[in-house]
Structure 1
Amino acid sequence: MEAETPAPEQPAFRIFSTSKPKREPVSDNRPSSPPKPPIKTHPKTTVESDSFSDLGLSEWAVATCRELGMRRPTPVQSQCIPRILAGDNVLAVAPTGSGKTAAFTLPILHRLAEELFGVYALVLSPTRELATQLAEQFRALGAPINLRCVVAIGGYNTIDQAKALAKKPHVVIATPGRLRALMEGVEIAAAFSRTKFLVLDEADRVLDANFKEDLDVILRLLPKKRQTLFFSATMTGNLQTLSKVSGNKYYLFEGDKGGKTVETLKQQYLKVPPDLKELYLSHILSNMEEDGIRSAIVFVATCRTCHYLELLLEEVGQAAVALHSHKSQSLRLASLSRFKSGQVPVLLATDVASRGLDIPTVDLVINYNIPRDSSDYIHRVGRTARAGRGGLSISFITERDESLVHEIEGVIKRKLGEYNCDEKAVFEDITQVFVARRVAKMKMIDDGFEEQAQERKERKLKVLTDKGIKRKR
């Protein structure tokens, strides 16, 4: 539906351009691309399409969708692709697993094929892992036009990334902090002088106060005439504010109001004594194969818990890898790669993995620590039951968590069922788990994790204090 709110004061930085970007003449020496039919007009309709060919995409793009198994567009794709092709700014809020990435990737690639140059599109992501995955999807869909895509994220050599950006790839996918640092170089900033598209994926997070200074700098260096696309699974206060200050300068799509989970997801809770969480977790994971679960993601609240559970599960013989911010980027990607390839069936993760990651084999999500924010819950459980598949989520709750469960139920408009657990079978392994618990804690002392964590915390607090930002609790 189209937003029709009046336009009050403009924000500190200009998110949307005041006019639709004009398409520049096609250069004669541009790389060759597959033949395309004439550009179609795109009526502003709310009717869903049965085929990607109905959306005005080039034949090569439609054929690529078919080859990748994308046979019918989802609602967010049906509504947003024609709007983007027509030159509109878009704010789309839709459930996890609803096809948001293809909703902006396909029209960008369609336009790019008509005038191949770089940097044509910039995509900002809140996490390194999501940025890496977005690049994989851009490359898969853009293979027919020989897409050149560069990822600019922390954890890698800045000189190498600067050299890659200086070559003006077609698409740049970046985290805000690293891109801001790179754009301090005049040559790198100039590479974005003709950028046609700015995309904020998981926009509610990118618009968070922690990225504000970075975003201010990036927006000042981008062309004023461009299309701006926001995509998120949840309509947060940041996006609500954006919708108010932006007037009618964008097309708003809300799928299920962006606050619901998919019907194919079975959501349950398990009441667990706080000092026995490890026991119940070990039991559930040890029965994955018997329960027909191919792989599982276990979400925890802190890096410390993530590291601790990795050591504990290793002691009880359960293969698992951990993904958290205290690991180097190379180790993080290695862990994710082992999990995605099926080498390891369990991924232990903080919320760094709750955004956008699409791994088809994930049948189970466990909230070892239930999140304090209902939008974080929606993003976490959205790692399973994607693209019409089924899935199960189990949230461990203690007595103090009951109010959080009620709040989540109010947002998703569904009651969580109780997960049935064989208590006798659970306690059969209590000795083994308790021994593993002691060993894991000793290993954490030996590997210096606690000291390193404290040092990181102090550095982070100093940075936040210097910026005048307090992290939300």
Structure 2
Amino acid sequence: MAAKEVGRNHVGDGGGGADGRTKNTFGVEDLNEVFENVEELGAGVKLFSRCVLKKTMRNKKKKEQQQQQQLNDDQTLIGDGERESGDRRCGNPAPCEQKTKKKKKREEDDILDNDVTGSPSPSPSLRSKKVAEEDSTRSKVSFEQLGLSEWLLSSCREMGIIRPTQVQEACIPHILKGEDVIGNAETGSGKTAAFALPILQRLAEDPYGICALVLTPTRELAFQIADQFRVLGAGQHLRDAVVVGGVDLINQALLLARRPHVVIATPGRLKDHLENDPSVPGLFNRLKFLVLDEADQLLDAGFEVELRAILQCLPPKRQTLLFSATMTGTLKKLREMSMHKAFYFEVYKGLQTVGSLKQQYIFIPDKVKEVYLCYLMETLEEMNVRSLIVFASSCRTCQTLQHLLQELDIPSTCLHSMKPQPQRLAALNKFKSGVVPILIATDVASRGLDIPTVDLVVNFDMPQLPRNYVHRVGRTARAGRAGRAVSLITQYDVELVHKIEELIGQQLEELPLEEDVVLKRITDVYNAKRVATLKIAESGFEEQVEARLKTKRKRKREQAQDGGGG
């Protein structure tokens, strides 16, 4: 069976849109055909997995032989002095090569001789990579030593925040001094408080007008940042406004007209206000802070037009604060350009996952992913999981999975960009409050969301960008807590998993499951999937997706024409 690489597209603000997988997307007819052969499918899972593993190992072995041949050819060109230098560095290379070959041979034998009594054997392992040592997240310095006011210290104590994290210790004094700051720190390291606390202190000194504008790429993150400002600024009677899409423009304009202290916005909606209402730009005349949270995503080309329009309306004399968990090429260039006047802080080198996160995988055929997902959902108590987030690649997959779990009486809610904003907020609040323990989401939920009860993250679809894997699994194991991430890996994901393992510097562990036990409910799951697919078809969801795609294409064409005309 030829394993073909199939891409998955992301649409909208983090994964909305039609399922980009052109081969394995189920239609109603496909489901009927598969349902008729459920027993054959269940019986063939082991054989299928073994075939995929053998093919993968053969490809890997062939690639390694080619690399070894190339290495041998290169070594013939090296002089005796170079060889002696190599021997001094590594010892005699010949025994090392023999030992490496024996080790690889043992790994291949272990994988191919596996009886496949549980889940299929691990995907081909990567070359081991040394993991960067993680510094302690909390410093020995107190908030008092950072120069914060007493009322802010009281707010921190009430929230149970006793000592600052490293990013807070490093950035807060420089922000209070009036400097621009670029902060690059891992997920869950307290970046929001690192800019919120000094902003609130400056606001207390001059509480008139809009003091700070915080830009963020997703609506859910905007509401979360607003919540944190409200808690930290409770003693100051803070007024804030959240300006995001999906909410009535007139009500938002009225909120802005009242000159709130802090505005938290997504770039697209704020641009609409600035261009459609001539009074809005003047509201930002007294702005002291511009914050780009998740700056790597905001500085991406997708927000270029919106950011340019916003920056033209802001006063040049202000502090600019950029915070991100990812260091991209754009951020590196910005750092180099502003190094002489901006304070730069990076708590670690490279994009890494935290040490308290246990990362596992299950290697399975694509057509039984839903069966394994449902099994995990039904064993949450055994795994001591209070709540979990399931990440999918598209809005369609999210909606289908929610209908599927609903048919199986498994309580869940879903979050994606095709939902109206009130429904998105309601879904997130239900999950945060514990009304439902399962949230199915696209990558709109992969950035910044901090929900302490999330003990497990499941990647139903693997992200196409390795860095997005780090952001997804960063929704658990935050602020020093333990957590677990489980990825459902199919034959189409092997190369992608290699890239992820190379990025994070470690190999994912296999989660052993008894395959016969998991597949007991395959008939029930396929029944539920057929019903879920019918519900999607009858609801007009596909038509909504297509209409949205057409709108986006039209908008991009208009923007391109405007850019060309300018």
Give the structure-2-normalised TM-score.
0.73
2:228 maps to what in 1?
137
Q: Which has the higher contact order (CA 8 A, sep 6+)?
A: 2
Moved more, 341-350 or 439-448: 439-448
1:370 to 444, 447, 462: 462
More helix per residue: 1 or 2? 2
Q: 1:316-465 maps to which residues of 2 (within 5 A)?
A: 316-465=408-557
Q: Deviations over 1:323-344 (max 9, x none)?
A: 0011000000000000000000
Q: Deviations over 1:127-182 (max 9, x none)?
A: 11100010000000001111111111111111111111111110000000111111
Q: Deviations over 1:28-80 (max 9, x none)?
A: xxxxxxxxxxxxxxxxxxx9443111111001111110100111111111101
Q: Deviations over 1:212-268 (max 9, x none)?
A: 111101111111111000011111122122223324221111111251111111111
Counterpart secondary structure, 2:208: coil
Q: Are the counterparts in 2 of residues 94 and 257 from structure 1 also a CA contact under 8 Å?
A: no
2: CA distance, partners of 1:208 / 1:248: 24
1: CA distance, partners of 2:498 / 2:341: 37
Q: Are the counterparts in 1 of residues 139 and 163 from structure 2 also a CA contact under 8 Å?
A: no
Letter in 1 for 2:489: I
RMSD: 1.3
2: CA distance, partners of 1:278 / 1:468: 41
2:49 maps to what in 1?
none
2: CA distance, partners of 1:186 / 1:439: 50
Structure 2 regions of 5+ residues with no counterpart?
A: 1-137, 562-566
Q: 1:266-281 maps to which residues of 2 (within 5 A)?
A: 266-281=358-373
Letter in 2 for 1:406: H
1: CA distance, partners of 2:145 / 2:339: 29
1:15 maps to what in 2?
none
2:377 to 285, 301, 307: 285
Counterpart secondary structure, 1:384: coil
- Measured after TM superposition, the shift of residue 290 of structure 1 is 2.0
Moved more, 354-363 or 209-218: 209-218
Q: Are the counterparts in 1 of residues 213 and 290 from structure 2 also a CA contact under 8 Å?
A: yes
Letter in 2 for 1:121: A
- Measured after TM superposition, the shift of residue 118 of structure 1 is 1.8
- Measured after TM superposition, the shift of residue 295 of structure 1 is 0.3
Counterpart secondary structure, 1:122: strand
- Measured after TM superposition, the shift of residue 429 of structure 1 is 0.8
Q: 1:35-434 maps to which residues of 2 (within 5 A)?
A: 48-184=139-275, 185-434=277-526
Q: Are the counterparts in 2 of residues 308 and 444 from structure 1 also a CA contact under 8 Å?
A: yes
Q: Are the counterparts in 1 of residues 239 and 262 from structure 2 also a CA contact under 8 Å?
A: yes
Moved more, 117-126 or 415-424: 415-424
Q: Deviations over 1:318-368 (max 9, x none)?
A: 111010011000000000000000000000000011110010000000111
Letter in 2 for 1:403: E
1: CA distance, partners of 2:452 / 2:205: 33
- Measured after TM superposition, the shift of residue 422 of structure 1 is 2.1
Counterpart secondary structure, 1:383: coil
2: CA distance, partners of 1:53 / 1:244: 32
- Measured after TM superposition, the shift of residue 308 of structure 1 is 0.5
Q: Are the counterparts in 2 of residues 365 and 380 from structure 1 also a CA contact under 8 Å?
A: yes
2:83 maps to what in 1?
none
Q: Are the counterparts in 2 of residues 267 and 416 from structure 1 also a CA contact under 8 Å?
A: yes
1:33 maps to what in 2?
none
Q: Are the counterparts in 2 of residues 235 and 257 from structure 1 also a CA contact under 8 Å?
A: no
Counterpart secondary structure, 1:347: strand
Q: Are the counterparts in 2 of residues 296 and 366 from structure 1 also a CA contact under 8 Å?
A: yes
Fraction of identical pairs, as percent: 54
Moved more, 233-242 or 380-389: 233-242
Q: Are the counterparts in 1 of residues 295 and 324 from structure 2 also a CA contact under 8 Å?
A: yes
Q: Deviations over 1:424-450 (max 9, x none)?
A: 220111111010011111111111111
Letter in 1 for 2:433: S
Counterpart secondary structure, 2:345: strand
Counterpart secondary structure, 2:279: helix
1: CA distance, partners of 2:158 / 2:190: 16
Counterpart secondary structure, 2:349: helix
Find the structure with the greater CA-based Rg: 2
Moved more, 194-203 or 257-266: 257-266
1: CA distance, partners of 2:226 / 2:354: 26
* Count of equivalent residues: 423
Q: Are the counterparts in 1 of residues 366 and 491 from structure 2 also a CA contact under 8 Å?
A: no
